[in-house]
Amino acid sequence: MNTSNVVDWPAEIHSVLTRLEISLVAYVPDAGHRRLIELCIASEGMRTVPLTSEEEGIGLLAGAWLGHRRGILLMQSSGVGNCVNAIASITQACAFPLLMLVAMRGEEGEKNPWQIPMGRTTAPVFRALGVSVARADDAGSVGLTVDAMARRAFDGNAAVGVLLTQRLIGIKSFGK
């Protein structure tokens, strides 16, 4: 049995965000982020910002940092591809902190072959951009991982990505 059924890991991430005063939550919906998004929408102190494309989140969070507010970008692995130039030309050019939480597709057990190329490209693209990458596949420690990476981002003006693996979030079934 997957431990993600036992530990409410989205709630753990949510409490990390609350504790670290990360109050602007930009997202393009993904099934893997569903519960976290719901928790954030229900939080009085958080402002949720649905985006039409993940790239908007890079500028949005940079602007928020200029205004002394911390934010996070939630997206699927495909969305990382949409952010490449913005991360290079804004985040890295100006050393903005950037915290990204990526729900992975295209890994072991993926049932949609179209997801596989971007899934295997996500971490290498991040590394090529100078984004620190951590993989989280254990429900019991994902909160600690997000906490550590968030501190690295905001204390060190760093760009970081936490990859929530399909082992953690489960495999999309496509009705089968």
Partner 1 sequence: MFSLPDRRMVIAELLRDRGDLLVVSGLGGTTWDLASIGDHDLNFYLWGGMGNAVPMALGLALAQPNRRVLVVTGDGEMLMGLGAFATVAVQNPTNLAIAVIDNERYGETGNQLSHSALGSDLTVIARGAGIKNCSTLTELSAVGSFRDALHTTIGPILGVIKVAAGSAGMVLPPRDGVSVKHRFRHALFCTKGRISN
Binding footprint of partner 1 on the chain (CB under 8 A): 24, 47, 49-53, 55-69, 71, 85-86, 89-90, 93-96
**Smallest gap, in angstroms, from Cβ of residue 22 to partner 1?**
12
**Smallest gap, in angstroms, from Cβ of residue 89 to partner 1?**
3
**Smallest gap, in angstroms, from Cβ of residue 41 to partner 1?**
13
Decide whether 52 or 173 has the Cβ nearer to partner 1.
52
d(CA 10, CA 169): 10
List the one residue out of 3, 13, 62, 16 whose CA is nearest residue 38.
Answer: 13
Decide whether 69 or 172 has the Cβ nearer to partner 1.
69
Decide whether 116 or 128 has the Cβ nearer to partner 1.
128
User: What CA–CA distances, in Å, run from 123 to 55, 64, 84, 112, 171?
Assistant: 17, 25, 12, 19, 19
Residues 6+ apart with CB under 8 A from 127: 133
**Smallest gap, in angstroms, from Cβ of residue 111 to partner 1?**
29
According to DSSP, the residues that pair with 76 across neighbouring strands are 103
Decide whether 7 or 88 has the Cβ nearer to partner 1.
88
